[in-house]
Amino acid sequence: MKAEDSGVDLETALDMAEAALDRGESDTTLEICERVLATFGEHPGALFLAAEAHRELRDLEAAEDCYRRVVHIQPDHAPSWSGLAGALFDQLRFDEAFPYVSRAIRLDATHPDAYWWRGLLRERRGDFTGSDRDIRRAHRLDPTFPKRVPLDDETLEAVVEECVQAMHPSIQEYLKQVTILAEDIPEEDVLAGWDPPMPPAEILGYFTGSSLMDRTLDNPWSNLPSAIVLYRRNLERIADDRERMLEELRITVMHEVGHYLGLDEDDLTERGLD
């Protein structure tokens, strides 16, 4: 049987869609999957690849829909249960996600993605010991998942001080008005400030308050103290290598200081601080 508009068979089309996804060409993957689904109906392989592509494009609701369609057809497909849990996690639907990731592990106890998502879900519940155990298991099963590199208070404070001392004295003076602190994980209300929400495991730091550019005498609220928050556990998972992790910490500090100074994301990208 041939796909009517492409002249290739089903397996070749799915291989093409997967290859495009591996190259980071998610739009191409979706185009191929849409042709396959139009020709062959609800094919679980095409639906799964479409779900993965939607995830890459941050269309979480579309990804969730595709994963659910896969498990309706093929209820023993562990990667789709795990992917569904991940899509819900990034939508901040943590309690809803947990049963799905547990089901993925029951179906396949060697599936690294499932342990990764369960580790992140346990972290949201404050079970850091269980989270670390799952993160290590995911790394052992698939080393592309980063293992946690501990970041103690002394090291974090030393890197922050190093960053501040590298700045112009005038900026150092302004930074005396800013509190720089560390929290284990981001609060849900912070994550919900983006649309779609910021993925809970990806945000490394956050500036809250008014930038120097926004402060005016007409608005006393704009002169309230500002703060930079660094998210320790996300930083600890950013890389397997300690030096790279510390470099990411430096970039994060400079990035958030940039927001305090009034730079937007494009400005920060131009300065290599994205």
Please list the residue range(s) of the chain that carry CATH number 3.30.2010.20: 153-270
221 pLDDT tier (thresholds 50, 70, 90): very low
Pick the CATH number of 153-270 from 3.30.2010.20, 3.20.20.105, 3.10.20.600, 3.90.1640.30: 3.30.2010.20
**Which is more confidently placed, 209 or 80?**
80
Cβ neighbours, 10 Å, residue 156: 19
pLDDT tens digit sequence for 36-62: 999 999 999 999 999 999 999 999 999
Of 142-146, 176-180, 211-215, the least confident: 211-215
The average pLDDT across 85-109 equals: 98
Among candidate residues 68, 39, 63, 41, the one with its CA nearest the CA of residue 53: 63
Which residues lie below 8 Å from residue 166, measured CB to CB, with a gap of 6+? none
Helix/strand/coil for 46: helix
Torsion sign across C-alpha atoms 191, 128, 61, 83: positive
177 pLDDT tier (thresholds 50, 70, 90): confident
**pTM of whole model > 0.85?**
yes
Which residues lie below 8 Å from residue 38, measured CB to CB, with a gap of 6+? none
Judged against a pLDDT cut of 70, whether residue 7 lies above it is answered with no
Dist CA 55 CA 57 (whole Å): 5
Among candidate residues 32, 57, 64, the one with its CA nearest the CA of residue 45: 32
Strand intervals (E) in the chain: 178-183, 205-208, 226-231
Which residues lie below 8 Å from residue 253, measured CB to CB, with a gap of 6+? 159, 160, 163, 180, 205, 228, 230
**Which is more confidently placed, 261 or 82?**
82
- Beta strands at 205-208 and 226-231: parallel, antiparallel or unpaired: antiparallel
Q: Is residue 131 within 8 Å of residue 112, measured between CB atoms?
A: no
Helix/strand/coil for 139: helix
Q: What tokens does 47 get?
A: 């639906």
CATH topology of domain 10-141: 1.25.40
Q: Average pLDDT over the chain, rounded to whole?
A: 90
Which residues lie below 8 Å from residue 104, measured CB to CB, with a gap of 6+? 78, 79, 81, 82, 85, 111, 113, 114, 117
Dist CA 40 CA 27 (whole Å): 20
Q: DSSP assignment, residue 231?
A: E
User: Which alpha helices (DSSP H) does 108-168 contain, by range?
Assistant: 112-124, 128-141, 153-165
